Amino acid sequence: MIVSAAQMKAAEETAFASGATPSGLMEIAGKGIAKCIGEFFPNPGTVVLFCGKGHNGGDGLVAARYLIEHGWRVLIRLASSRQEMAKLTQQNLDALEGATLVDSVPTIASQQLLLLDGLLGIGSTGTPRGVVADLIHEMNQLRTREGGFTVAIDLPSGLDGTTGVHEGACVQADLTVTIGAVKTGLVTDTATAMVGRLALVPLPGLSFSLADPSSISIPRMLRALLPTRDFDSYKGTYGRIGILAGSSGFFGAAKLCSSAAVHAGGGLVTLYATPESHDLLSGTCIPEVMVQRVESYQDVLQEKNDVLALGPGLGREHDADLRKIITQATIPCVIDADALNATSAEVSLLANCEGHRLITPHRGEMERLNPQAGRNRLTWAKEFVEKYPVTLLLKGSRTIITQRDFPPAYNSTGNPGMGTGGMGDVLTGVCSALIGGGHSTRHAAMLGAWLCGRAAEIAIFNGNDSQESLTASSVIAHLGEAFQSLRRGDY
pLDDT digits (tens, 9 = 90+) for 82-137: 999 999 999 999 999 999 999 999 887 767 899 999 999 998 888 999 999 999 99
- Smallest Cα–Cα separation from 8: which of 165, 164, 207, 241? 207
Say yes or no to pLDDT of 463 above 90. Answer: no
* Residue range(s) of every CATH 3.40.1190.20 domain in the chain: 224-488
Mean pLDDT of 440-451: 98
Output the pLDDT for position 111: 75
- Smallest Cα–Cα separation from 290: which of 254, 343, 325, 321? 254
Mean pLDDT of 34-45: 94
Phi-psi region of 202 (alpha: psi -120 to 50; beta: other; left: phi over 0): beta
Say yes or no to pLDDT of 341 above 80. Answer: yes
Mean pLDDT of 207-213: 78
pTM of the model: 0.96
Mean pLDDT of 49-54: 98
pLDDT digits (tens, 9 = 90+) for 348-366: 999 999 999 999 999 999 9
Output the pLDDT for position 212: 75
Mean pLDDT of 145-166: 96
Output the pLDDT for position 203: 94
Strand partners, 237: none
Output the pLDDT for position 75: 97
HEC profile of 419-472: CCCCHHHHHHHHHHHHHHCCCCHHHHHHHHHHHHHHHHHHHHHCCCCCCCCCCH
Dihedral angle over CA of 221, 223, 224, 227, nearest 10: 170
Say yes or no to pLDDT of 210 above 80. Answer: no
Say yes or no to pLDDT of 239 above 80. Answer: yes
| Separation CA 152–CA 173 (nearest Å) | 6
- Smallest Cα–Cα separation from 25: which of 205, 168, 163? 205
- What single letter denotes the amino acid at residue 221? M
pLDDT category of residue 248 using cuts at 50, 70 and 90: confident
Contact at 8 Å (CB) between 452 and 430?
Answer: yes
Mean pLDDT of 62-78: 97
Q: Which of 12-16, 329-333, 470-474, 475-479 has the lowest mean pLDDT?
A: 12-16
> To the nearest whole number, what is the mean pLDDT of the chain?
95
How would you class 21 by CB atoms within 10 Å of its CB: exposed for 0-12, middle for 13-18, buried for 19 or more? exposed
Mean pLDDT of 127-153: 96
In the chain, what percentage of residues exceed pLDDT 70? Answer: 100
Residue partners of 49: CB distance under 8 A and separation at least 6: 60, 61, 63, 64, 74, 75, 76, 77, 99, 116, 118
Mean pLDDT of 301-327: 97
Mean pLDDT of 161-180: 96
pLDDT category of residue 385 using cuts at 50, 70 and 90: very high
pLDDT category of residue 453 using cuts at 50, 70 and 90: very high
* Residue range(s) of every CATH 3.40.50.10260 domain in the chain: 2-212
Length of the chain (residues): 491
For 130, the 3-state DSSP assignment is: helix
Output the pLDDT for position 156: 98
CATH of 2-212, one of 3.40.50.720, 3.30.200.20, 3.40.50.10260, 3.40.50.170: 3.40.50.10260
Residue partners of 268: CB distance under 8 A and separation at least 6: 235, 236, 239, 240, 241, 290
Output the pLDDT for position 110: 67
Output the pLDDT for position 390: 98
pLDDT digits (tens, 9 = 90+) for 392-432: 999 999 999 999 999 999 999 999 999 999 999 999 999 99
In the chain, what percentage of residues exceed pLDDT 90? Answer: 92
Q: Which CATH superfamily is domain 224-488 in?
A: Ribokinase (3.40.1190.20)
pLDDT digits (tens, 9 = 90+) for 258-313: 999 999 999 999 999 999 999 989 989 999 999 999 999 999 999 999 999 999 99
